[in-house]
């Protein structure tokens, strides 16, 4: 399997990390994994909520010890893709 796409959202406040995650996932095929790095403490709440609502799977969550939260998210079936004509702006 390919390495996950990396989103470095360190230093960004919510909702920006989740919005970046949504945009990247919308352009990935089902099953593709994305790795998100974020320093905003609210991502611990917002990323799982977004994934639950959008049909994505959280594969791993960990704190790296330097205030960075790392999420590995797999694109789910129910999430719209750009192949269907939708863009992230439509979501």
CB atoms under 10 Å from CB of 80, counted, come to 16
5, 12, 14, 39: which is the annotated catalytic residue? 14
Catalytic, 14? Answer yes
Residues contacting 51, CB < 8 A, separation 6+:
57, 58, 73, 76
**Tokens coding 13:** 């406040």
Question: pLDDT tens-digit profile of 4-36?
Answer: 999 999 999 999 999 999 999 999 999 999 999
Calculate mean pLDDT across residues 53-81.
90
Instruction: Identify the residue with better confidence: 77 or 53.
Output: 53
> Could you tell me the pLDDT band of residue 42, with boundaries at 50, 70 and 90?
very high
pTM of the model: 0.83
CB atoms under 10 Å from CB of 77, counted, come to 10
Of 2-11, 44-53, 70-79, 82-91, minimum mean pLDDT range: 82-91
Calculate mean pLDDT across residues 67-88.
74
Residue of 83, 21, 84 lying closest to 54 (CA atoms): 21
* CA gap 91, 87 in Å, rounded: 7
């Amino acid at each position: 399997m390919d390495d996950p796409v990396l989103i470095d959202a360190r230093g960004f406040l919510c909702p920006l990390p989740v919005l970046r995650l949504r945009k990247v996932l919308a352009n990935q095929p089902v099953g593709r994994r994305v790795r998100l790095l974020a320093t905003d403490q609210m991502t611990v709440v917002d990323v799982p909520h977004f994934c639950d609502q959008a049909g994505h799977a959280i594969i791993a969550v960990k704190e790296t010890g330097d205030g960075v939260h790392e999420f590995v998210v797999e694109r789910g079936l129910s999430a719209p893709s750009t192949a269907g004509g939708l863009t992230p702006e439509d979501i």
